[in-house]
Amino acid sequence: MSNLTEKHNLKGTLICVEGIDGSGKSTQLALLRDWLKSIGQDVIFTEWNSSMLISQTTKLAKKKNLLSPRTFSLLHAVDFADRLKQVIEPALKAGFIVLADRYAYTAFARDVARGVDRQWVRKVYDFAIKPDLAVYFDIKPETAMNRICSNRAPKFYEAGMDLKLSNDPYESYLIFQSRVIKEYQSMVDEFGLVKLDADDSIHSKQVAIRTLLREILKEKGIEV
């Protein structure tokens, strides 16, 4: 776990946001990206399961409900490894601010919630670079479900339906996402995640993130 527990020595800055869907993490990262661009900072954005190499294969397998928990984990690890080498590392070497919508911690939470061995998953991702800032948006599963269901029903894997926790997708969602949240909460101290209350206003959360980022950039000699 040395890479994820030791500061990197690259020129750029790596920021990631974590939390279950409905926690508002993507909204906060989009606001942060727009602000950084508006003040002239070089920014690269990357998101979970978006590698050109493997993402379509993963999406097809999900659509057909073909993934076992460990296969699910390995496909996402391949996706992550490709993006790390092709996008994240080069951008950090060039001095960019890299904004990641979910990082290795997503796998640590979701895969373990699916019953995959905790240490095995961490070993799979032991090549990951430690973020300069990792923010976790903590939310109750009921609140997240209400937000999601205002637009759509829970998705098959999102609800943990592959685990046969319940025949009711809404009940299954609450059971599975409660497990995911428990794993995230256990990582706050383990990996130094900064926990923010997802129920706070969009403005207050954005102010908090910008304050944290300013402190990090200041240490690198960058005033924003």
| Tens digit of each residue's pLDDT (9 = 90 or more) over 149-183 | 998 999 998 999 989 999 999 999 999 999 999 99
CA 188 to CA 60: how far, in whole Å?
33
Tens of pLDDT along 9-32?
A: 999 999 999 999 999 999 999 999
What's the mean pLDDT in 61-88?
A: 86
Specify the higher pLDDT residue, 97 or 220: 97
CA 197 to CA 201: how far, in whole Å?
9
CA 35 to CA 15: how far, in whole Å?
14
Mean pLDDT for the chain overall? 93
Task: For each of the domains in the chain, give its residue range(s) and CATH number, in order of start.
Answer: 2-140+189-214 (3.40.50.300)
Please spell the DSSP secondary structure of 93-156, one letter per residue: HTTPEEEEES-HHHHHHHHHHTT--HHHHHHHTTTPPPPSEEEEEE--HHHHHHHHTTT-PPPT
Percent of the chain with pLDDT over 90: 80
Is residue 66 over pLDDT 90?
A: no
pLDDT, residue 83, reads 95
Give 163's DSSP letter: G
Q: How many CB atoms lie within 10 A of CB 138?
A: 18
Residue 194 C-alpha from the chain's centroid = 13
Tens of pLDDT along 89-124?
A: 999 999 999 999 999 999 999 999 999 999 999 999
User: What is the value of pTM for the model shown?
Assistant: 0.92
